[in-house]
Amino acid sequence: MDGIIFDVDGTIWNSTKVVAQAWTNAIKEHSHLDITITQADLESLFGKTMEEIYNQIFQLIPDKEERDRIAQVCMEYEQEALRREPGVLYEGIVEVIKTLAQKYPLYIVSNCQSGYIELMLEIIGLEDYFKDHLCYGDTLQPKTYTIPKIMEQHNLKNVVYIGDTFGDFDACQKIGIPFVYASYGFGEVKNTKWRIDSPLLLPQVIESITKERHDQWS
């Protein structure tokens, strides 16, 4: 295996509580909308592209330019809030990432906006453990494009993706790469071959996938 690619929200950490409050504050202070965004709202939306999330939250605003303006303010509030109160890391994920990085090149692909992955890595002190990252904000494309793009950039041929939503699973199916379902995250994915109920189980699953692929190709 020449690469392990991680999702962020619902896989490495959960920032929905902080982000929901930040976006609510931004909307109330910079628009006439009477909207309160909850943690549950974001848990149901995270995993979609930022454009899809904006379109749903700001559907009462017909003007795209105005939607984009408010969305940008939300991102600024979000970054400030996460520096004060970081997202909640899933138990064991930091140790697992450090362990896996000793043996495999690690990458991140997310549907988030540009700057979000960098902020998360800075906050949790894991910048040196990932070779690279790419997101929707960089490519303006879904994961069916962004995952192959980072694979192309680093000449990756044998990777696995770790994510928590059906969208992640579906993208991996279309691309033709193994998917590990992080069931502790936000989404629900049924009938997946590889599943972890805790980050601590990931190294064992990675070893199983590696062995299976070795046996298939030998």
Across residues 111-136, what is the average pLDDT? 96
pTM summary value: 0.92
Same-domain status, 210 and 192: yes
Residue 197's beta-bridge partner residues? none
Mean of pLDDT over the chain: 93
Is pLDDT above 70 for 217?
no
Q: Please state, in angstroms and as integers, the Cα–Cα distance from residue 150 to each residue in 106, 133, 134, 183, 194, following that order.
A: 11, 8, 7, 25, 22
Spatial contact of 18 and 87, defined as CB atoms under 8 Å apart: yes
Same-domain status, 66 and 150: no
Looking at the structure of the chain, the number of domains it has is 2
Q: How confident is the model at residue 33 (pLDDT cuts 50, 70, 90)?
A: confident
pLDDT digits (tens, 9 = 90+) for 132-161: 999 999 999 999 999 999 999 999 999 999
* Alpha-carbon gap, residue 210 to 193, rounded angstroms: 14
Is pLDDT above 90 for 50?
no
Same-domain status, 7 and 110: yes
Question: What is the structure's pLDDT at 39?
Answer: 93
pLDDT digits (tens, 9 = 90+) for 152-208: 999 999 999 999 999 999 999 999 999 999 999 998 999 899 999 999 999 999 999
Is pLDDT above 60 for 218?
no
Final residue of a domain: which of 50, 84, 118?
Answer: 84
Same-domain status, 77 and 110: no
Same-domain status, 140 and 202: yes
Higher-pLDDT residue of 53, 18 = 18
Is pLDDT above 90 for 54?
no
Final residue of a domain: which of 59, 84, 109?
Answer: 84
Higher-pLDDT residue of 60, 206 = 206
Domain that holds residue 36: 16-84
Higher-pLDDT residue of 64, 19 = 19
The residues near 151 (Cβ < 8 Å, ≥ 6 apart) are 3, 157, 159
Same-domain status, 59 and 76: yes
* Helix boundaries (H) for 1-112: 16-30, 39-45, 50-57, 64-84, 93-101
Spatial contact of 24 and 125, defined as CB atoms under 8 Å apart: no
